[in-house]
């Protein structure tokens, strides 16, 4: 801008500042819109959780249709296929690292199988290959859970193994070894009401040795509100700098020049 006149330079600076202010303000509004969308989705999830539990017969087998049942409570009866249990490594719960235990459940009311995230078990710090002690009933069981997607994927240094301890769950490879079709959603097993300790009572491991202190669902609103605040703050800063350098500071210099003269 060295070759521009002072008036043209002022126009360029003004337009650039206006564009930056509008852009950062728009990004702030976009983050607020994202927060509103997630708030609406979170409300829908909470409403689904209040509906009566589904039974096995009502579970949808088509992946696209099954997503409409996400976060619904389910009460299922079936038999554990313990020989296909998978232990997902490096999964935290309450600040400790251990395994998420996932076992297929052969449903009693229909020929399908559904994967159940049964709970968390501690890892032996001295022997990483040692599996936690998990009690798996051999007869028919009944459980209460919540329909969800497969466990989130963790970073793995090599390809997924075929043993019981794995870094991630691959339903596509697991289904090849199962004796019946696998439903698309998984079940997050919830604690039994009888096993929940009373207020003030010391908690103890469940009978099967698995903890189910699943974290509460978080809509992530604070993150979007924080991003929106940053964008609005940057927008205000840019506007303030423009007013200071283009209006206030020149006036101060002009007055000082007049007084010195």
Question: DSSP string spanning 109-126?
Answer: SSS-EEEEEEEEEE--SS
pTM over cut 0.75: no
Residue of higher predicted confidence among 1 and 129:
129
**pLDDT score for 125:** 76
Contact 169, 185 (CB under 8 A): no
211 phi, psi to nearest 5 deg? -90, 145
* 155-210: pLDDT as tens digits: 665 555 567 888 888 877 788 889 999 999 999 999 864 333 334 434 455 778 89
**pLDDT score for 105:** 97
User: Highest-confidence range of 116-130, 161-175, 223-237, by mean pLDDT?
Assistant: 223-237
What are the extents of the domains in the chain? 6-46+221-260, 72-195
**pLDDT score for 203:** 47
């Amino acid at each position: 801008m060295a070759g521009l006149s002072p008036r043209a330079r002022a126009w360029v600076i003004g337009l650039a500042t206006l564009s930056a202010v509008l852009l950062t303000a728009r990004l702030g509004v976009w983050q607020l819109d994202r927060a509103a969308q997630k708030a609406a989705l979170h409300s829908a999830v909470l409403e689904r959780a209040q509906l009566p539990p589904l039974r096995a017969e009502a579970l949808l087998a088509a992946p696209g249709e099954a997503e409409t049942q996400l976060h619904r409570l389910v009460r299922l009866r079936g038999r554990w296929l313990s020989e296909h249990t998978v232990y997902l490594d490096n999964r935290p719960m309450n600040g400790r690292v251990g395994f998420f235990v996932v076992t297929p459940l052969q449903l009693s009311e229909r020929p399908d199988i559904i994967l159940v995230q049964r709970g968390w078990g501690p890892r032996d710090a001295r022997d990483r290959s040692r599996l936690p002690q998990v009690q798996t009933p051999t007869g028919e069981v009944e459980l209460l859970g919540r329909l969800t997607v497969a466990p989130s994927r963790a970073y793995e240094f090599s390809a997924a193994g075929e043993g019981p301890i794995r870094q991630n769950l691959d339903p596509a490879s697991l289904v090849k070894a199962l004796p019946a079709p696998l439903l698309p959603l998984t079940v997050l097993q919830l604690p039994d009401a009888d096993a929940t300790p009373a207020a003030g009572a010391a908690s103890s491991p469940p009978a099967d040795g698995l903890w189910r202190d699943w974290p509460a669902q978080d809509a992530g609103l604070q993150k979007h509100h924080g991003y929106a605040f940053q964008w609005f703050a940057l927008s205000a800063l840019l506007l303030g700098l423009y007013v200071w350098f283009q209006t206030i500071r020149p006036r101060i210099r002009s007055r000082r020049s007049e007084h010195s003269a």
